[in-house]
């Protein structure tokens, strides 16, 4: 059997947890599937979900900005940002700091056999994360585990006791179907319960604890990434790999070799505006979860109406820049065209 190391799972941020997705109340098509010639083909239409109301044609972004020391920059204004599409700057319609939108969190816990020695610590860290992030009567989370296949263990809930009980009850065994889990979680986040009242937007976040090595999924990694982008979910991945290489001081590694699975986790986070974490020691896992929570409270909300919207279902790359020198901007790399608001 393959040797899977510490598993903590990633759509690639410093954005966090969030660029977590801002809700479109609109159905997206299933991610395109590659054909024999390498071109994308349109898959059969998904079964229609309950009808939802399309409210805007806006593109919603959650943005994280850090300096070269990885410190969050939280004092920028609307005028400090520029959104570029097809080489053209776009007019920012809405802007806010530290957006307080309700969170919809998917917590994906790798329970494959390879993480058995570390599972208890992972569960402790996940419980601590939810305790610090979930706000009563506002945020909701669901728990999914994945080994041979993904499984919803606890549906959307704001009840911390129920979520924690479900986490602590998990046992390890089986292979790893990471792509299938992320794809399924993205679909569930897309149709997340919305707040009651006139304000129905939420931030969608996926926290994946895994080593990034997939050996059982039916879905390709491109399917999982596309599904995450369409659901506007930011993927925060926590690697459970332990292949750190320390040269002199064993307490501080001077070189770290990224495994193939680590690069997969980075790809998920980078494409979705999330962040990939690589804890050095087992004890650093809790710090990674704490950093995710901090990032979720240190972000900007940007919404704009594309001057030339893409065709429905087509992908449009975007580039978000800041006027301040030396800063790093993290958000999702693009979006899929959707039907505009009613009347457009």
Q: What is the mean pLDDT of residues 199-217?
A: 92
Contact 3/259 with Cβ under 8 angstroms? no
Count of domains for the chain: 1
* Domain CATH for 157: 3.40.50.410
Residue 327 pLDDT class (50, 70, 90 cuts): very high
pLDDT at 226: 97
Residue 334 maps to a domain: no
Q: Which domain holds residue 173?
A: 21-33+90-295
Say yes or no to pLDDT of 48 above 60: no
Residue 251 pLDDT class (50, 70, 90 cuts): low
pLDDT at 118: 82
pLDDT at 232: 95
Percent helix, percent strand, percent coil in the chain, to nearest 5? 25, 25, 50
Residue 326 maps to a domain: no
Residue 62 maps to a domain: no
Residue 245 maps to a domain: yes
Residue 249 pLDDT class (50, 70, 90 cuts): low
Residue 320 pLDDT class (50, 70, 90 cuts): very high
What lies within 8 Å, CB to CB, of 125 at 6+ separation is 285, 286, 288, 289
Structure tokens that stand for 318 in this block: 């975007």
How far out from the chain centre does Cα 14 lie? 11
Residue 40 maps to a domain: no
Residue closest to 276 by CA, chosen among 244, 251, 241: 241
Residue 116 maps to a domain: yes
Residue 75 maps to a domain: no
pLDDT at 4: 36
Residue closest to 214 by CA, chosen among 180, 245, 187, 190: 180
Q: Residues 94-107: pLDDT tens digits?
A: 999 866 889 999 99
- pTM beyond 0.75: the answer is yes
Residue 178 maps to a domain: yes
pLDDT at 100: 82
Q: Where is pLDDT greater, at 177 or 47?
A: 177
Q: What is the mean pLDDT of residues 17-31?
A: 38
Q: How many CB atoms lie within 10 A of CB 9?
A: 32
DSSP secondary structure string for all residues of 49-79? -S-------PEEEEEEEE-TT--B-----GG
Q: Residues 105-151: pLDDT tens digits?
A: 999 999 998 788 888 888 988 998 999 899 999 999 999 999 999 99
Residue whose tokens read 């053209």: 88
């Amino acid at each position: 059997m393959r040797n899977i190391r510490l598993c903590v799972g990633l759509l690639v941020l410093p954005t966090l947890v969030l660029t977590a997705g801002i809700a479109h109340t609109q159905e997206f098509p299933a991610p395109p599937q590659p054909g024999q010639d390498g071109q994308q083909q349109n898959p059969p239409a998904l079964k229609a979900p309950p009808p939802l109301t399309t409210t805007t044609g806006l593109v919603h972004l959650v943005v994280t900005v850090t300096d070269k020391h990885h410190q969050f920059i939280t004092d920028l204004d609307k005028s400090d940002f520029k959104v570029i599409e097809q080489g053209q700057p776009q007019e920012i319609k809405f802007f806010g700091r530290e957006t307080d939108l309700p969170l919809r969190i998917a917590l994906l816990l790798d329970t494959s056999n390879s993480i058995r020695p570390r599972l208890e610590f992972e569960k402790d860290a996940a419980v601590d994360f939810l305790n610090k992030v979930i706000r009563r009567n506002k945020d909701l989370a669901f728990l999914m585990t994945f080994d041979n296949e993904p499984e919803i263990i606890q549906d959307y809930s704001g009840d911390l006791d129920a979520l924690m009980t479900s986490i602590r009850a998990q046992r390890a065994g089986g292979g790893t179907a990471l792509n299938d889990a992320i794809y399924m979680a993205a679909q569930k986040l897309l149709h997340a319960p919305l707040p009651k009242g006139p304000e129905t937007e939420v931030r969608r976040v996926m926290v994946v604890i895994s080593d990034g090595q997939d050996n059982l999924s039916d879905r390709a990694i491109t399917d999982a990434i596309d599904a995450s982008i369409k659901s506007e979910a930011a993927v925060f991945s926590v690697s459970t790999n332990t292949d750190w290489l320390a040269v002199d001081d064993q307490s501080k590694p001077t070189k770290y070799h990224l495994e193939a699975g680590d690069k997969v986790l980075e790809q998920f986070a980078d494409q979705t505006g999330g962040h990939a974490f690589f804890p050095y020691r087992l004890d650093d896992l809790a710090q990674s979860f704490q950093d995710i929570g901090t990032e979720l409270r240190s972000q900007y909300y940007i919404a704009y109406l594309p001057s030339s919207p893409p065709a429905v279902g087509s992908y449009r790359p975007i580039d978000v820049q800041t006027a301040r020198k030396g800063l790093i901007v993290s958000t999702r790399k693009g979006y899929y065209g959707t039907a505009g608001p009613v009347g457009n």
